[in-house]
Amino acid sequence: MPKAATKPVLSVYDAMEDLREATIKSTSTPGVADAARRAIDRLNELYAEDRAAFTAEDVRFANVLRGMLGSRLAAHGPKVVHVRKLKRKGDKLDHCWRCKTPVDERFTDNCPTCSAKEYTWRVCPVCCACGCQRAGTVLI
């Protein structure tokens, strides 16, 4: 009787390395977006399975890479001037906490998961950051 195929377990290190490589390649080509999305999905799956496998440095590094990746991929698009939005009550920053994109008219989506009555988190259109990452409910 043949053995059932088992899904190989991807280590945190390997998944982080895939994201790092995609981030480096994104400097010169936008064609890495799909590979980067797969690496991000794998890291989030691993994080959901076992948060203890991630050190605080792993989480910080993943967020740095995700911010850089979003900024680099956005730089490949057409140059457009964006109109900045004013800070809302409760906003501590006038830019994305992860990729430093200034809050402008592109920030139209709010996160239903991490938003509360007191404060509504905007979702960054460049790196998809919101309060979920800060709260630790998802990795990146």
- pLDDT profile of the chain (140 residues), mean per 10: 44 93 94 94 92 91 94 91 91 93 94 91 94 86
Number of structural domains (the chain) is 1
Is 81 a member of any domain?
A: yes
pLDDT at 138: 86
Residue 44 lies in a domain: yes
**Do 100 and 67 meet the contact criterion of CB atoms below 8 Å apart?**
yes
What's the predicted TM-score (pTM) here?
0.81
Is the Cβ–Cβ distance between 124 and 102 less than 8 Å?
A: no
pLDDT score of 10: 53
* pLDDT value of residue 11: 87
Enclosing domain of residue 100: 12-135
Say if 73 falls within a structural domain.
Answer: yes
- Any domain includes 5: no
Q: Please check whether residue 111 lies inside any domain of the structure.
A: yes
